[in-house]
Copies of this chain bind each other. A is one copy, B any other.
Amino acid sequence: MTNNKMNQLADEINQLLSKSIPESSLNTNLEDSMRYSLEAGGKRIRPVLLLLTLEMLSNEYEKGISAALGLEMIHTYSLIHDDLPPMDNDDYRRGKLTNHKVFGEWKAILAGDALLTKAFDIIVNDDKLENSAKIKLIQRLSFASGHLGMVGGQTLDMQSEGEGTSVDIQTLEQIHNAKTGALLKFAVMAAVDIANPEKYVAEKLESYSEHLGLMFQIKDDLLDVYGDEAKLGKSVGSDIENDKSTYVSLLGQQGAEDKMKYHTDAAYEDLKQLPDCYNTDNLVYIIELFNNRES
C-alpha cells in the first residue's frame, strides 16, 4: 500500500523530470545530455520523501513538485560532476554509461552547470507557490547544496580519500552530514517550508531527517562490506580497496550496526512525538526502507 504510493510518486517524478528541460533555439544537444542523466535515475528517494512529508502535513503534495524536481536536479548534477575523470572517474552508473562517457567531458561539465541552474529556475517559476515559500525554499536549497552543504561535503570526502582510518568518526560524520545528509534534510524541511506547521513539528521532522541521513550512510558502508553483490548490482569491498574510512572501518561491524540501530530508533521516536492528527505511516515506511534495504 505505502509502497504503491511511493512507486506512484516516483513515476510522476520521472515523467515530470523528462518534461522539465525545454528545447533551446541553440542548435546543440546540451538538453539531451541534461535529460540523459535526469532519466537515468534510481528510486527518486529524495523527491519522494519530500512529497510524502508534504502529503502528511497538508494533504496536498502537488505544491512540492517544483522543489522535488529541483532537488533531483541538484542530486543529478552532483552525480555528473562526481563521475568526471578528475573526481571519481566512473564509466558506469546504475549500469548505464556516465554522462561524460556519452557526451564528452566538457559537455558533462556544462550539463551539470545547467542542471544546477535549472533547479533554482524551476522553483522560482512555480506559479503554485507563494513568493514567501519560494524564498524559503531557495534559501534552504542554496545552503544545503553549496559550499557549506553538499559541495563542501564532497570536497572533504575527496580530500580524505586514501587517508584510511586516519579520518576520525567526527570527520566522517561531518562529511556525511554535508555530502548526503544536507539534501535528505532539504527533502523533509522543504515540505515544512511549504506547509508551515508549528515549530514543534518542524523540529521533530528536522531531527527525523538527520537520523535518516546517517542511517543512509551507515547502511551504505555496511552493504559495501557485507552486502549481496547480486542484489547491489555492483561489487562489494570497494571502500576497503580504496582505503576509505567508513563506519565499518572505524567502528567495526558491531559498532556500525549499533549506530544504525540508534539512529533508526531515534527516527521512529521523532515520528511518535508528532501530534496524532498526522498519519505517519509513509514516513515510518521510509525508516523501514532505509533500515532494510539490500541495494
Contact = CB atoms under 8 A, between A and B. Distances in A.
Which of A21, A139, A143, A155 gathers the greatest number of chain B CB atoms within 10 Å? A155
Interface stretch (A103-111, A243-251, A269-277): A103-111
Contact of A124 (B22, B138, B151, B156): B138
B106 A87 contact: yes
Contacts of A153: 26
Number of copies of chain A assembled together: 2
A192 to B, nearest CB: 17
Interface in A113-159: 113-114, 116-118, 120-121, 124-125, 131-132, 134-135, 138-139, 142-143, 145-148, 151-156, 158-159
Contact of A120 (B28, B106, B131, B142): B142
Nearest to A143: B121
Given A131-B132, A132-B131, A110 B28 contact: no
A84 interface: yes
B26 A110 contact: no
Contacts of A77: 113
A190 interface: no
Contact of A121 (B81, B131, B134, B146): B146
Nearest to A174: B26
B156 A26 contact: yes
Contact of A24 (B86, B147, B154): B147
Range class of the A interface residue count: 35 or more
B152 A30 contact: yes
A219 to B, nearest CB: 23
Interface string A17-43: 000011011111011001000000000
Nearest to A179: B26
A44 to B, nearest CB: 22
Interface of A: 21-22, 24-28, 30-31, 34, 77-78, 81, 84, 86-87, 104-107, 109-110, 112-114, 116-118, 120-121, 124-125, 131-132, 134-135, 138-139, 142-143, 145-148, 151-156, 158-159, 171, 174, 178
